[in-house]
Amino acid sequence: MKRFTRCGIIFVIVITMMLFSVLLLQYNSEDFSLSESSFGLAGVARPQATEPNIAPPLNSTSNNLELNDGDTPFSSRHANASIVMLARNSDLEGARKSILQLEARFNHRFQYPYVFLNELEFTEDFKSMVKSVTNATVEFGIIPSDHWNQPDWIDEVQASQARKAMAEDGVKYGGSVAYRNMCRFNSGFFFKHELLQKYRWYWRVEPNVRFHCDINFDPFLYMEDNDKVYSFTIATYEIVETISSLWTSVKSFMSLHPEFVVQNNSMNFLSLTWGRTYNRCHFWSNFEIADMEFWRGPAYSSFFDYLDLKGGFYYERWGDAPVHSIAASLFARSDQIHFFEEIGYQHDDWSHCPLNKEIWEKGNCDCSRDHSFDYDDSSCKKFWDRISH
């Protein structure tokens, strides 16, 4: 009887412990699910170590964010700025990818508005799918035809012959009218669009780009507070066949308007011969943060109009990258142009990764410093270093 009683007591104790363990496990499980759902992450797979931080859910507020040193809460001072993307309806997935990257690394904290521009009307699907990945204000605009299409005064026979020759020579986009339209628009018209008139600063973003590091500061305010007008992350060479007469036209403009060429400019970035020849270096303009008042000013306005009438956007294939870079280098002081070391950025196969280890670690970067384009043979960063150091 005693043996039976002892076994019964042990049995009751074991059952009690098992019930207590189940209850404890259930409590912890419910508590974990509550924490996940509070931030909208329940059921969402965790990113791999090489992926950027997940942007906060669309119903979150600034109270959900743990700001790092240098971060700016939503209510803090903002620049008069916008993030600008030129895209087509077919770029939807690439546009969403770029926005998700930028939101994760930067804009979920700062909430700068987006402006999307297209030569055709955006579809409702494009608009809704883009708006679904950001809390920021998003506007969509149509580019006026006279800002986009090849002007009537261009000799189409000469232009078509140039396109044919470049296509036969294998020049990238050499046979494309649309690419030339884009280069001309980005060179001289985007900042005139009605949706951008209310803004001073812009950050150009393209579909299918990557941002490799957390951007725990406001680049717009940095530019504004430090008297900058133009910034870049990658510098490279232009394709020689696309700009055969560009530098001749630039020198002609400088002779006509020496008053626009400032002291302490960046001519040494553009030329190794004190301006006699052009080394083809330019800031890669698919990333640029800049002051639109600089483009709207008299120096650049006169410069673009002069180049436009030369017809080189269509008779050759002048790009907005060399046009912007030459103008910034000549009409702004060298200390007004800034290289953003902190902003890890990738377009196609070329990537800028912060080489400074402290910056790389602070930015939680997912890029390889050993593969940064900065000092690749095709990079012009070394020429910029001669000026900035």
Six-digit token string for 97? 């990818």
Q: Catalytic residue among 103, 206, 238, 288, which? A: 288
Exposure string over 189-217, b if 16+ CB within 10 A, otherwise e: bbbebebbeebbbbbbbbbebbbbbbbbb
Residue located via tokens 């508590």? 31
Give the count of beta carbons closer than 10 Å to the beta carbon of residue 111.
15
Instruction: Measure Cα distances from 212 to 59, 184, 186, 215, 252 in Å.
Output: 25, 30, 25, 9, 41
Six-digit token string for 294? 């600089």
Residue located via tokens 């969403």? 96
The string of DSSP codes covering 13-39 is: HHHHHHHHHHHHHHHHHHHHHHHHHHT
Would you call 119 a catalytic residue per the annotation? no
Q: Tell me how far apart the alpha carbons of residues 71 and 16 are, in angstroms, rounded to a whole number.
A: 51
Annotated catalytic sites, by residue? Answer: 288
